[in-house]
Amino acid sequence: MKLVISADHAGFPLKEEVRAYLTKAGHELVDLGAYDGDHPDDYPDFAEKVGDAIRQGVAKRGILICGSGVGVCVAANKIPGIRAGMCHDTYSAHQGVEHDDMNVIVLGARIIGPLLAYEVVDAFIAAKFIANEERFTRRYKKVLAIEAKYQCGDGSASPA
């Protein structure tokens, strides 16, 4: 599977491990930075890179990593069409895709270690949205309606 991956300085070491693991497993990864963990940077920049890449069709799914996972998750979910979920267990990783069509998995590098991160991203990658089950489709359409309600015609968010 082709994926985009990105992390801020705090998530950089785990990003490198996950990227190497998935590449070795045969997946194609587009690395959107950070490219080192030595320089403090801002997590919203990396969330936006992943969101934009998915919206532009570079890949259908992405992986975001920061220290806790919270920051990039909040930022990514501001981007129309992005459904990011923070997952530190395999159940949430596959269930988020199967029930909610999650397209970005978020990991907290200070929360999860590499071995569990590999299992979590494997579960995310293997999962498929269960589109033939009415309850999941109904709920998904409601999420899309909420997103549309708060968007301006130019794709930006409506002012609060």
Indicate the domain borders of the chain: 2-129
pLDDT at 112: 97
pLDDT at 18: 98
The tokens describing 94, both together, are 């596959």
Confidence of residue 151 (pLDDT cuts 50, 70, 90): confident
pLDDT at 156: 62
Confidence of residue 131 (pLDDT cuts 50, 70, 90): confident
pLDDT at 119: 98
Residue 7: closest CA among 102, 78, 100, 110 = 110
> What fold is seen in the domain 2-129?
Ribose 5-phosphate Isomerase B; Chain: A, (3.40.1400)
CA–CA gap between residue 87 and residue 113 (Å, rounded): 12
* Residue of 106 and 156 predicted with greater confidence: 106
* Residue of 94 and 150 predicted with greater confidence: 94
* Residue of 88 and 131 predicted with greater confidence: 88
* Residue pointed to by tokens 């300085």: 9
Mean pLDDT estimate for the chain: 95
Give residue 40's Cα distance to chain centre.
21
Active site residues per annotation: 66, 99
